[in-house]
Structure 1
């Protein structure tokens, strides 16, 4: 039998085209995948790519309603879907442009973005030689279908990316070791108290600077920060302005969230005054980009640590305190981290849960609980005695747990500080130094590594470092 090579080649080419058309289907960003958690009771955005100028339909099994849209000339499409009340019923999401993609085991719950540098990135299993307090026990007992984490792979790039690498993992002894420890303890408390699934979208990079997580627009009034024009201009992968926003946050923008938590600041200690402005700009810009209103933004103040240099981290902690001037924010104080020799405090449970207290009180309406560390209310001079009073002391006031207070220093007009004797009475601290005849200013733990000695009785929340001067 004579074989017609030309006919065979034509057949193979036609079959390849037909096969391609048969397998063509919608493509979704990594964040939309099996096991994901969608934000409850909201219009969540779903997007991806398909054949150009093609109808795309999506159906969620929670209400079986079909939503449709049309892809543009490049195949991009986006639609929004109404989600129900949170619960543990697993759902599917079907998306099709002629060939269906079905996402399985989806839960509806509360979704929080988790970002920052190494203290947010630190996993439950710890870093080499640096454990997480209670980590092994927490990991063993972590099996929970209602806590899930999506961790974004590190990417530093000069242009905004449409997608990232990552998978949704369900909490359990084999997966939780790699979860953000701060994020996990935050999510666990929300999950336990509200009895709803919690999704953690974790995107952080150790040592990163805040400007790396910002957009060019949010840096437009900060000329000190030079935006790279190409990848060749990236001098520091985790510190160059905009590069982590482009690679690790831009692909997530618009994914349905309740709010964000943030643990960062160590890498910006040298520019505390500028940090206040950058933080405010960043939070406003993230909210603008997500387009879901002024979502809550809770964050950790950096903990005491002996950096071994001449920079005083009291100033960056002060800048972080000023971050609460940005609306709908809240700061978890970690002045009792007890880690002066390790920049990664092992008390990640405190970090996560103290941010969760803010969320439960301010976001979820449990406002009667004590959630906020005390703050300076007023300073009065009575002769040679200084009286410092405090706000947010809880219903049962402050305590030193019977220990002596040694971290206060006072100064006269000459700006020379001396240690002060201190007595706590109610919500006030009385200070006296025999070396200061005319006191005018007070500082407390305002250095790199001094730990607080004063706590609220209710909630055991530590007093942050502070100063009353502006010298």
Structure 2
């Protein structure tokens, strides 16, 4: 396994007969032995002194009647990987899967663990079942493990050069409500019963709550598709509330060892229906950022986002909702983690976002917060033609605003489509499937990071 390295302290816990005394000893590059702790209500718990990254270590847990020994224990950073089917999407299913699986033996210090799929109506202290116990990676183990989780860990290891522990706990087709405690749901006044693993809190109870004792470094999340048609208008509350609640619960559960603001990365929704005019996916993408368009932001601190709307997969045998290019998704997450979780100030991890949108005159100028790489498009930008913002809720109020020209950090778009009407709003990439593979019109200057979607409304009377 991998336990959390210093400066945090790893927590070990287990079960035993009431009143038994348990001692934990650590041997390896450094040595330590804990004072005896007493099994209370069937559970014992020990917090180790901080351990530098590396290993291997041997952990001995002994009581008056038995001893358990764990070998090949490493210390590094532990990341929790949660969400629905795109997080659960297996490494054996991605593009170039055989090549990726063949790399497994080269990363013996990136260790996977996977919780099994189970629900519970009450908060559990232990997982009902484990799908993949802590393992040294092999092609066989990784073939059924989360691709995004594995690739994220592997890319992080390439940078950090010390052990990474990956804890997968996710379930396909599940809404954020299932992964949220009743506390978090009450903050957003949400409740509902939609059956099985989609019910309120049932996966929080069975697949997250049992992990709260664990000292973790951070979490990554890929979910939201299930909320495009379920409480979608509340996702700008439910998702940030879940993040805040997880942070509080892991901090308390680990006795203060997991940081109360641990870094939390997420994937903005990719694509599903190529010719759809429905706005369910773009609406949830926007709500994933608590309606700011980017992360981190003032409401979602220490978060980072991987934009994925430019990675569609029209021929995916698993359905278009499951694109097979998880390498770019994980790489973009890794850039965010390096910048936000590891404070690497020289890492660009955000795509271009408007810092100023000029009032419409003969055209509209969008001034970005960084230099941009731009290609022509007639319809990636849209303007809302009306006298009131309320009318922009109608899809028919939005018309294309072709790109006219661009400079190093700005784009000029036409507002001629509005003719005699006022321009009330402007939006970018506000479609389920806004562009072909890696072919959106606006990227960072190095052409690595796509501009995220945005929607902007002019103040009344500014036209």
Alignment of 1:160-179 (within 5 A): 160-164=123-127, 165-166=129-130, 167-179=133-145
Q: 1:224 to 1:383 in 2, by over 3 A?
A: same
Query: Shift of residue 339 of structure 1?
Result: 2.5
Match of 1:275 in 2: 235
Match of 2:155 in 1: 189
In structure 2, distance between residues paired with 1:419 and 1:163: 54
Instruction: Work out whether residues 11 and 46 of structure 2, in 8 Å CA contact, stay in contact via their aligned partners in 1.
Output: yes
Query: Shift of residue 55 of structure 1?
Result: 1.3
Match of 1:252 in 2: 211
Query: Shift of residue 181 of structure 1?
Result: 0.4
Instruction: Work out whether residues 90 and 146 of structure 2, in 8 Å CA contact, stay in contact via their aligned partners in 1.
Output: yes
SS class of match (2:244): helix
Query: Shift of residue 304 of structure 1?
Result: 2.2
Query: Shift of residue 60 of structure 1?
Result: 1.0
2:185 maps to 1:219 = yes
**1:360-384 alpha-carbon deviations (Å, 9 max, x no partner):** 1122221111111222222112413
Query: Shift of residue 424 of structure 1?
Result: 2.4
Match of 1:312 in 2: 280
Match of 1:418 in 2: 399
2:347 maps to 1:369 = yes
RMSD: 2.0
In structure 2, distance between residues paired with 1:369 and 1:205: 32
2:426 maps to 1:450 = no
In structure 1, distance between residues paired with 2:341 and 2:311: 26
Q: 1:382 to 1:268 in 2, by over 3 A?
A: closer
Query: Shift of residue 196 of structure 1?
Result: 0.9
Return 361-370 or 64-73, whichever deviates more: 64-73
In structure 2, distance between residues paired with 1:82 and 1:294: 21
Return 308-317 or 190-199, whichever deviates more: 308-317
In structure 1, distance between residues paired with 2:109 and 2:412: 48
Alignment of 1:459-470 (within 5 A): 460-469=448-457
Instruction: Work out whether residues 59 and 71 of structure 2, in 8 Å CA contact, stay in contact via their aligned partners in 1.
Output: yes
In structure 1, distance between residues paired with 2:424 and 2:188: 34
In structure 1, distance between residues paired with 2:358 and 2:279: 30
Return 174-183 or 268-277, whichever deviates more: 268-277
Instruction: Work out whether residues 114 and 167 of structure 2, in 8 Å CA contact, stay in contact via their aligned partners in 1.
Output: yes
**Given the two structures, how large is their TM-score scaled by the length of structure 1?**
0.84
Query: Shift of residue 264 of structure 1?
Result: 0.4
Aligned pairs, how many? 418
Match of 1:428 in 2: 410
Q: Tell me which structure has the larger Cα radius of gyration.
A: 1
Structure 1 unaligned residues grouped into runs of 5+ = 1-35, 127-131, 227-233
SS class of match (2:441): coil
In structure 1, distance between residues paired with 2:39 and 2:73: 27
Match of 1:331 in 2: 305
Match of 1:40 in 2: 5
SS class of match (1:284): helix
Query: Shift of residue 403 of structure 1?
Result: 4.7
**1:32-59 alpha-carbon deviations (Å, 9 max, x no partner):** xxxx101111211111111211211001
In structure 2, distance between residues paired with 1:304 and 1:235: 24
Match of 2:58 in 1: 92
